[in-house]
Amino acid sequence: MVTIYDISKKTGFSPPTVSKALNGAGTLSLVTRSRILDAARDMGYVPNLTARALSTRRSRLIGIINKDIYLTDVFIPPIFNNILGGARQVMEAHGYELLMLRGTHDFLTAASYRNIDGFLLFAIPGEEEYRGLLKSRLPCVSTNDLLPGISTALTDNYGGAVTAVQYLVDLGHRHIAYIAGPVTWMSPASDERFQGYRDCLERNGITENPELTETAGLWSALGGYEAARRLLERKETFTAIFATSDNLAYGTIKALNEAGLRVPRDVSIIGFDGEPLGEYISPPLTTMRQDSVLIGKTAAELLLKRLSGEERAELKRIPAELVLRSSCRSP
């Protein structure tokens, strides 16, 4: 049986340092921790989880919270699956397991019952849950919502929106509509993308027309469809639409088609997220792709820092990438 002393001899790190790395304790650098964990894996080290939990009072379990009234309680959107996959790569490499907590769970009761060490937050429904998490002082990192006092890894929504709208402007569009997602107290995506839309219009000398903005009730194709129908009922002139998610864009395209408008012949459309389905709809959707795997990895790294004793909340922004397909053209 491989022991921490064997790993110490192989890596050159002291047994206490090896123990800290294997138990996720202390303030070791990620490089040191990774070297020790890699060596332990190569040597076939198998920890005694029961003994370790008793001695360290750590379960090596990380709770995953995804409870959003505007989405669902399961990981249906591919972007969430990718974020989860990125987080899992990092957390499992450091000896942690991820535990899904569905919407019926009381998160803090689950944390106490299962001795959960910390949380990765995909979405939470409101302020009561947020205050409870803060009061618990359990390490938490968000991958979607901006929550004061909690570290966050998320897309550069503002910069991505500026890039999207500038692309439409460069094609020659001057009448650009905007389909927004729901606005909640803690989710910045819709507001930040809207600000990027407005600022980009202003920088290009284009007067914003409030009648070209419509807000969807859900981050879904149905939400986009209904919002686009309301937009069309106003009979305003527009040659392009920036939809703040790919799902909203899918519904918007359906509404345009029903109105006798073709994409991109009559109206160009650009989405945001980079969902795989966008490549296979007709026409393939131009979009801003979120680097969801990197978001997950970054969130996991932030959580490891909190688990090792770092108390300062950090915010990491991940750039979005313009993906050119066939849904945009010059007016």
Query: 26-71 pLDDT, tens per residue?
Result: 667 878 888 888 888 888 876 654 445 444 456 788 988 876 544 4
Of the candidates 186, 187, 182, 240, which has an alpha carbon nearest to the alpha carbon of residue 216? 182
Q: Quick one: tokens of 59?
A: 């379960």
Task: State in Å, rounded, how far the first CA of the chain is from the last one.
Answer: 70
CA distances from 280 to 235, 242, 276 (A): 30, 19, 8
Judge whether 101 and 310 are in contact, CB under 8 Å. Answer: no
Strand pairing report for 321-323 and 315-318: unpaired
Burial bucket for residue 105 (CB in 10 Å: 0-12, 13-18, 19+): middle
Packing angle of the helix pair 189-203, 157-171 (nearest 10 deg): 40
Query: 170-196 pLDDT, tens per residue?
Result: 999 999 999 999 887 677 889 999 999
Cα angle 129-133-135, degrees, rounded to a multiple of 5: 115
CA distances from 331 to 239, 251, 324 (A): 6, 21, 17
Query: 134-161 pLDDT, tens per residue?
Result: 888 889 999 988 888 899 999 999 999 9
Cα angle 37-39-43, degrees, rounded to a multiple of 5: 115
Strand pairing report for 213-215 and 151-155: unpaired
What domains can you pick out in the chain, each with its CATH number? 4-55 (1.10.260.40), 58-155+292-319 (3.40.50.2300), 157-291 (3.40.50.2300)
Q: Distance between CA 264 and CA 107 in Å, rounded?
A: 46
Of the candidates 164, 115, 113, which has an alpha carbon nearest to the alpha carbon of residue 268? 164
Residue with the bigger pLDDT between 261 and 59: it is: 261
pLDDT at 51: 47
Q: What are the φ and ψ backbone dihedral angles of 253, each rounded to 5 degrees?
A: -60, -40
Mean pLDDT score of the chain: 87
pLDDT at 42: 87
pLDDT at 191: 92
Judge whether 270 and 168 are in contact, CB under 8 Å. Answer: yes
List CB contacts of 140: < 8 A, sequence separation 6 or more: 118, 119, 120, 121, 133, 147, 150, 151, 303, 306
pLDDT at 31: 82
List CB contacts of 25: < 8 A, sequence separation 6 or more: 19, 56, 58, 308
Q: Distance between CA 40 and CA 238 in Å, rounded?
A: 60
Cis peptide preceding 264, ω within 30 of 0: yes
Supply the DSSP string of 12-81, one letter for each residue. ---HHHHHHHHHT-TT--HHHHHHHHHHHHHTT----HHHHHHHH----EEEEEE--TTS-SS--SHHHH
Lowest mean pLDDT among 19-28, 35-44, 111-120, 319-328: 19-28
Query: Containing H/E element for 108?
Result: helix 107-114
